Structure 1
């Protein structure tokens, strides 16, 4: 997940969660098989933009190898990488890595080998920011979007206003779907165990999903079910490329540029999303919210509503604490619990949870520019 929201610039106040109620018998520490992946624990490292690649080439270095290796060694079940670009025009932050050149693929091989040597599982999050960018980041091309509607705000870490995007043609969309499929194939070549399609947080796929940013009148516009057409095409193409058991899809109501956004009818929206995922044969979902415990409709949270209509795998995320995660796992609401900022500041996060040790506090200024 990209941390473009204001929350990233604030420190977490939670530094000591204490021992878990069930201790080492906690479901968090159970091994589990989801899709093609045999995970050491029911934990995941949530995807978080780190901006540590070479800015010109999008190639990751040895510091990134060590960053992910340490978390795998500690026992994180599933590592979901920072957002990885599918093309040069997908870029929305400086120093973001890619998976569209041979050089990028070769560099990622060192990361996946290191993770696998520690018995870990790692997947690449495929990312295109769409209109949330600036032409200086996209080789002087305007950002791509479903409609030529400018987002409000500034590009994170670039501090320039979002550009007016270029409305994508049907040929552009066809090319985009192919780029996602190729990036997924590149991920497997690089040694990743699979991929996550970033269809959340107001980035390109989610821009097609939203009536805020999608005013099209062709087959990619219309009501929500029709606006999900691009997401379905991308998901189907990636599944065809690497298999449904290696393809996760992330979706949300939350928009990085509109943090307070919520669907007008959340339950209807989730039912519509789930129907789309079932239609294309998806089996692994990562519903994303900023607050896991927030009730959004009918007395239920987002993940509880997804579970109401979805029998497949659900990865839960949203400022989770271990006790909340444990309860959600026990209830069957989620199958794996994803943690974000605590895993940035604590490479030994799993060990500290098991031992009831105090956590190092996450501080944006300390942990954004420095690998742990």
Structure 2
């Protein structure tokens, strides 16, 4: 039986007041201090005030060297950054919602001109076929990561997780989706290594496992740890992370065995069929995991949210909740709501404050 959207849900030590959350959405609004603009932070608080049960931050880069991929990305490594986010987590909590900081490393998707290290790194020296959408230029060939690089990147995730704890977040999410560094290790398309980090899916998952376990070790017992995965990336979208359903099932089995509290599945369309089968990505994933499952991808009204919950536990909204401050209440009332396009959501990357 499909759960009701507005029924409470237990996630780790927390009870969510409903099944609707704010998806992590990169806004690229941070200045030199790597803190998002106040209006961007305020939007997250308003979404909590207006009924969202779970509020994710935009993706926060994990170190001061090679992690940054785009201009204006946030970090959570210094006391001023921690203080700025602490005000946000306290306000979200006061409004009855749970906050989760998402963190990632861009890997080969980095733009070296804005990267403090002046380079990009990846499991292998393989570039995306697609041009950089921000520059219109080809991505440079990344440096293949050494074992030292791997250990250093893991440390960056750990230090950023510590920043999240200091800032009062209820949870931390490791971003393993959308073609960024962890995803680059998982995919044989971008991972051509012949050492213990390449070849089989179990080997390609080794990097993700190191990060998950190292981060879990520094989180307080009740702090949530979630992992995000997708079968598509922001570059070369026609290339799947996995070659077939069996390989995806193998990946989900590996993730399921790790000490996480939930798995977040990002789809381009939650109703789309997976790998030529009759199952959706969420249905295929649900069949292999015992963890609570979050889902997003073209879920824009009560009907689609309820439909998505047939195979998931929590619905995350991106464009709809970004552009409509009353999204949760509109869903409650069953209003007819639009399916926003990516072009309409591009206002998120301007200086225009959103409601």
Q: TM-score, normalised by structure 1?
A: 0.87
Q: 1:135 to 1:367 in 2, by over 3 A?
A: closer
Shift of 1:98: 0.8
Q: Could you tell me which residue of structure 1 aligns to residue 48 of structure 2? A: 72
Q: Could you tell me which residue of structure 2 aligns to residue 43 of structure 1? A: 20
Shift of 1:367: 3.9
1:335 aligns to 2:317 (yes or no)? no
Distance 2:76 2:48 in 1: 21
Q: Could you tell me which residue of structure 2 aligns to residue 142 of structure 1? A: 119
| 1:295 aligned counterpart, secondary structure | coil
Match of 2:59 among 83, 90, 102: 83
1:206 aligns to 2:188 (yes or no)? no
1:104 aligns to 2:81 (yes or no)? yes
Shift of 1:57: 2.1
Q: Which runs of 5+ in 1 are unaligned?
A: 1-24
- Equivalences for 1:299-318 in 2 at 5 Å? 299-318=278-297
Distance 1:112 1:38 in 2: 16
1:366 aligns to 2:347 (yes or no)? yes
Distance 1:26 1:264 in 2: 30
Match of 1:252 among 230, 236, 239: 230
Match of 2:11 among 27, 34, 54: 34
Asked whether the equivalents of residues 126 and 180 of structure 1 are also in contact (C-alpha less than 8 Å), the reply is yes
Deviation digits for residues 92-119 of structure 1 (CA, Å, limit 9, x no counterpart): 1111111122221121112112212211
Shift of 1:153: 3.1
Distance 1:365 1:292 in 2: 21
1:59 aligns to 2:35 (yes or no)? yes
Distance 1:317 1:126 in 2: 18
1:171 aligns to 2:148 (yes or no)? yes
Q: How many residues align?
A: 345
Q: 1:336 to 1:328 in 2, by over 3 A?
A: same
Q: Which moved more, 1:187-196 or 1:270-279?
A: 270-279
Q: 1:265 to 1:149 in 2, by over 3 A?
A: closer
Which structure is higher in RCO with an 8 Å CA cutoff and minimum separation 6? 1
Asked whether the equivalents of residues 46 and 340 of structure 1 are also in contact (C-alpha less than 8 Å), the reply is yes
RMSD: 2.1
| 1:27 aligned counterpart, secondary structure | coil
Q: Could you tell me which residue of structure 1 aligns to residue 194 of structure 2? A: 217
Distance 1:245 1:279 in 2: 18
Shift of 1:365: 4.4
Asked whether the equivalents of residues 94 and 158 of structure 1 are also in contact (C-alpha less than 8 Å), the reply is no
Asked whether the equivalents of residues 72 and 119 of structure 1 are also in contact (C-alpha less than 8 Å), the reply is yes
- Equivalences for 1:105-144 in 2 at 5 Å? 105-144=82-121
| 1:142 aligned counterpart, secondary structure | coil
| 1:338 aligned counterpart, secondary structure | strand
Asked whether the equivalents of residues 75 and 350 of structure 1 are also in contact (C-alpha less than 8 Å), the reply is yes
Shift of 1:32: 1.3
Distance 1:272 1:130 in 2: 24
Deviation digits for residues 199-256 of structure 1 (CA, Å, limit 9, x no counterpart): 0111000001111111111111112221111011111111122158610001111021
Shift of 1:161: 3.2
Distance 1:67 1:155 in 2: 28
Distance 2:243 2:278 in 1: 13
Asked whether the equivalents of residues 93 and 155 of structure 1 are also in contact (C-alpha less than 8 Å), the reply is no
Q: 1:74 to 1:280 in 2, by over 3 A?
A: same
| 2:86 aligned counterpart, secondary structure | helix
Q: Could you tell me which residue of structure 2 aligns to residue 9 of structure 1? A: none
Shift of 1:158: 4.5
Asked whether the equivalents of residues 224 and 261 of structure 2 are also in contact (C-alpha less than 8 Å), the reply is no
Distance 1:264 1:183 in 2: 29
Deviation digits for residues 137-173 of structure 1 (CA, Å, limit 9, x no counterpart): 1125211111112223343444443222111110110
Asked whether the equivalents of residues 231 and 242 of structure 2 are also in contact (C-alpha less than 8 Å), the reply is no
Q: TM-score, normalised by structure 2?
A: 0.91
Q: 1:328 to 1:364 in 2, by over 3 A?
A: closer
